[in-house]
Amino acid sequence: MLYFVTGNKGKFMEAQGIFKDLMQKNIGYTEIQADTLEEVAAYGMKEVMERLRGPVMLEDAGLFIEALQGFPGVYSAYVQKTIGNSGILRLMEGVQNRKAYFRSVVAYAEPGMEPRLFKGEVHGRIGFEARGTKGFGYDQIFYVGEKSLGEMDLVEKNIISHRAASMKALKEWLDGR
């Protein structure tokens, strides 16, 4: 049994495609203001380990847009809540360079062990319109190939996504011990 500390149902469903015996724990943790996802995840894990016994993971993710010097990056949750996808599309009006990537940092720990971090990325581009009805967050404006992530079902997204990459790296490490 592995605990996944997250308040995000979409993340949890994707993680279930990778880990069979998973339980969501919506207990919250302090997301510090920092320059990197790694710092946010590592700090959050320290707090979570004081409250949960047993194998546990949490994840911090972000969208990094090249033409915006990596914005929204570590501010992705706040930006999604405030200006949302339509705000990002507006910021990108007239911008030729649409390159962007998602990054995922998973922190894993169990009692008596120093937390370990696992990372994943998916490269793509910001479209000119939102498309699809699936996924969550920025999925409908982030395109890989012809499709937005919002047009992909869970299985398709889990083949290419940043989260699938970081979680598969954790799984391989766990299986290889």
72 phi/psi in degrees, rounded to 5: -80, -15
DSSP-assigned beta bridge partners for residue 64 = 72, 101
Q: Which is nearer to ligand ITT, 1 or 137 (CB)?
A: 137
Residue nearest ligand ITT, CB atom distance: 137
How many other CB atoms sit within 10 Å of the CB of residue 52?
Answer: 16
Q: Are 92 and 67 in contact (CB under 8 A)?
A: yes
**Dist. CA 163–CA 102, nearest whole Å:** 9
Cβ at position 43, least distance to ligand ITT in Å: 12
Q: Which is nearer to ligand ITT, 101 or 116 (CB)?
A: 101
Q: Which is nearer to ligand ITT, 101 or 112 (CB)?
A: 101
Cβ at position 103, least distance to ligand ITT in Å: 9
Cβ at position 145, least distance to ligand ITT in Å: 16
Q: Which is nearer to ligand ITT, 28 or 54 (CB)?
A: 28
Extract the tokens encoding 74: 């570590």
Q: Are 95 and 67 in contact (CB under 8 A)?
A: yes
114 phi/psi in degrees, rounded to 5: -65, 135
Q: Are 32 and 43 in contact (CB under 8 A)?
A: yes
Cβ at position 77, least distance to ligand ITT in Å: 4
Cite the active site residues: 60
Binding site for ligand ITT (CB under 6 A): 6-8, 11, 59-63, 76-77, 80, 102, 135-139, 149, 161, 163
